[in-house]
Amino acid sequence: MTVKVQVVSAGDGDVVLVEPPQPAQTAETAAQNRPASRTRACDTLKGSPAGPGYRNANIRAMDQPGFQPYVPATQSPAEFTAKAVVIGVLFGLLFGASTVYLGLRAGLTVSASIPIAVLAISVLKKLGGSTILENNIVQTIGSAGESVAGGVVFTIPALIFLTPDGPDYFNYYQIAMLAFAGGILGVLMMVPLRRALIVKEHGVLPYPEGAACADVLIAGERGGKLASMVFAGVAVGAIWKALSWVVNVFAKELDYSTPRGSQFPNATLNVDISPEYMGVGYVIGPRIAGTMFAGGVLSWLVLLPLLSILGANINVPFPPIHPNFANNPATGLPFLIREMAPAQLWSAYIRYIGAGAVLAAGLITLGRTLPTIVASAREGIRDFGAGAGTGATLRTERDMPTAFVIGGSLLLAIFLAVAPKMPTQGNFLAAILVIIFGFLFVTVSSRITGLIGTSSNPISGMTIATLILTCLMFVALGWTGNKYGPIALCVGAVVCIAAANAGGTSQDLKTGYIVGATPYYQQLGLIIGVITSAGVIGWTTLYLHSVFGIGSAAVPAPQATLMATIIKGLLNQNLPWGLVLVGVFISVTLELCGVRSLSFAVGSYLPIATTAPIFAGGLVRAFVERKMGAAADSEVGAGTLFSSGLIAGGSLCGILYAVLVGTGKIGIPEAIGNALPFLHDGTSGYIASALLFVALAVVLARAAQKKVM
pLDDT (tens digit per residue) in 152-183: 999 999 999 998 999 999 999 999 999 999 99
Residue 388's identity, in one-letter code, is: A
CA distances from 177 to 122, 441, 488, 553 (A): 34, 20, 16, 28
Residues 131-153 pLDDT 10s: 999 999 999 999 999 899 999 99
Residues 521-569 pLDDT 10s: 999 999 999 999 999 999 999 999 999 999 988 899 998 998 998 899 8
pLDDT: which is higher, 81 or 125: 81
| Helix (H) / strand (E) containing 491 | helix 485-515
Whether the Cβ atoms of residue 416 and residue 433 lie closer than 8 Å to each other: no
In this structure, is residue 336 part of a structural domain?
no
* Res. 16: pLDDT tops 90: no
Question: Of 511, 544, 577, which marks where a domain is finished?
Answer: 577
**Average pLDDT in the 385-401 region?**
68
In this structure, is residue 628 part of a structural domain?
yes
Lowest mean pLDDT among 447-461, 491-505, 640-654: 447-461
Same domain, 489 and 379: yes
Same domain, 209 and 264: no
**Average pLDDT in the 403-409 region?**
90
Instruction: Say which DSSP state 272 is in.
Output: E
Same domain, 405 and 554: yes
Residues 593-636 pLDDT 10s: 998 888 899 889 888 999 999 999 999 999 999 988 765 556 66
pLDDT: which is higher, 587 or 388: 587
Q: Note if the bond before 164 is cis, omega within 30 degrees.
A: yes
Average model confidence (pLDDT) across the chain: 83
**Average pLDDT in the 75-82 region?**
93
Lowest mean pLDDT among 4-13, 84-93, 319-328, 678-687: 4-13
Burial label for 244, CB within 10 Å (0-12, 13-18, 19+), is buried
In this structure, is residue 344 part of a structural domain?
no
Same domain, 162 and 211: yes
Instruction: Say which DSSP state 650 is in.
Output: H
Whether the Cβ atoms of residue 490 and residue 178 lie closer than 8 Å to each other: yes
Residue 302's pLDDT band (boundaries 50, 70, 90)? very high
CA 662 – CA 466 distance, rounded (Å): 36
In this structure, is residue 111 part of a structural domain?
yes
**Average pLDDT in the 418-440 region?**
91
Looking at the structure of the chain, the number of domains it has is: 2
- How big is the chain by its Cα radius of gyration, in Å? 24
Whether the Cβ atoms of residue 476 and residue 433 lie closer than 8 Å to each other: no
Residue 40's pLDDT band (boundaries 50, 70, 90)? very low
Instruction: Say which DSSP state 317 is in.
Output: P
Which of 607, 550, 597, 679 has the alpha carbon at shortest distance from 154?
A: 550
Q: 253: which strand partners?
A: 272
Residue 307's pLDDT band (boundaries 50, 70, 90)? very high
| SS3 of 597-630 | CHHHHHHHHCCHHHHHHHHHHHHHHHHHHHHHCC
Lowest mean pLDDT among 412-421, 567-576, 616-625: 567-576
Lowest mean pLDDT among 102-111, 293-302, 391-400: 391-400
Which of 305, 122, 364 has the alpha carbon at shortest distance from 226?
A: 122
Same domain, 522 and 631: no
What pLDDT does residue 441 have?
Answer: 87
Q: 9: which strand partners?
A: 15
CA distances from 98 to 544, 558, 651 (A): 12, 17, 5
| Helix (H) / strand (E) containing 6 | strand 6-9
* Res. 11: pLDDT tops 80: no
**Average pLDDT in the 633-662 region?**
86
Give SS3 for 568. Answer: helix
pLDDT: which is higher, 108 or 153: 153
In this structure, is residue 188 part of a structural domain?
yes
Which of 633, 599, 591, 277 has the alpha carbon at shortest distance from 456?
A: 599
- Compute the CA torsion angle 618, 624, 628, 634 (nearest 10 deg): -50
Question: Of 521, 542, 577, which marks where a domain is finished?
Answer: 577
In this structure, is residue 41 part of a structural domain?
no
How many Cβ atoms sit within 10 Å of the Cβ of residue 8?
19
CA distances from 595 to 270, 283, 285, 361, 657 (A): 26, 21, 17, 11, 40
What pLDDT does residue 30 have?
Answer: 34
CA 460 – CA 276 distance, rounded (Å): 21
- Compute the CA torsion angle 238, 243, 247, 252 (nearest 10 deg): -110
The count of residues in the chain is: 709
* Res. 221: pLDDT tops 80: no
What pLDDT does residue 79 have?
Answer: 94
Lowest mean pLDDT among 88-92, 240-244, 317-321: 317-321
In this structure, is residue 191 part of a structural domain?
yes
| SS3 of 76-119 | CCCCCCHHHHHHHHHHHHHHHHHHHHHHHHHCCCCCCHHHHHHH
First-to-last CA distance in the chain? 23
Same domain, 262 and 213: no
**Average pLDDT in the 355-375 region?**
77
**Average pLDDT in the 350-359 region?**
88
**Average pLDDT in the 290-294 region?**
93
**Average pLDDT in the 4-26 region?**
35
Same domain, 142 and 284: no
Whether the Cβ atoms of residue 238 and residue 247 lie closer than 8 Å to each other: no
**Average pLDDT in the 219-233 region?**
74
Same domain, 554 and 435: yes
Query: What are the backbone angles phi and psi of residue 271, rounded to the nearest 5°?
Result: -135, 115
Residue 390's pLDDT band (boundaries 50, 70, 90)? very low
**CA 367 to centroid of chain Cα atoms:** 21
What pLDDT does residue 384 have?
Answer: 55
**CA 555 to centroid of chain Cα atoms:** 16
Same domain, 216 and 237: no
What pLDDT does residue 32 have?
Answer: 36
Residues 686-699 pLDDT 10s: 999 999 999 999 99
Which of 550, 557, 563, 537 has the alpha carbon at shortest distance from 461?
A: 563
**Average pLDDT in the 10-31 region?**
35
Residue 2's pLDDT band (boundaries 50, 70, 90)? very low
* Res. 493: pLDDT tops 80: yes
Residues 265-277 pLDDT 10s: 999 999 999 999 9
Question: Of 577, 612, 630, which marks where a domain is finished?
Answer: 577
* Res. 10: pLDDT tops 50: no
In this structure, is residue 1 part of a structural domain?
no
CA 73 – CA 227 distance, rounded (Å): 29
Lowest mean pLDDT among 54-63, 467-476, 494-503: 54-63
Same domain, 206 and 256: no
Same domain, 551 and 609: no
**Average pLDDT in the 356-365 region?**
85
pLDDT: which is higher, 466 or 325: 466
Which positions ≥6 away from 477 have C-beta within 8 Å? none
Same domain, 184 and 131: yes
The parent domain of residue 686 ranges over 233-309+594-704
* Res. 214: pLDDT tops 90: no
Which of 519, 508, 517, 399 has the alpha carbon at shortest distance from 53?
A: 508
* Res. 3: pLDDT tops 60: no
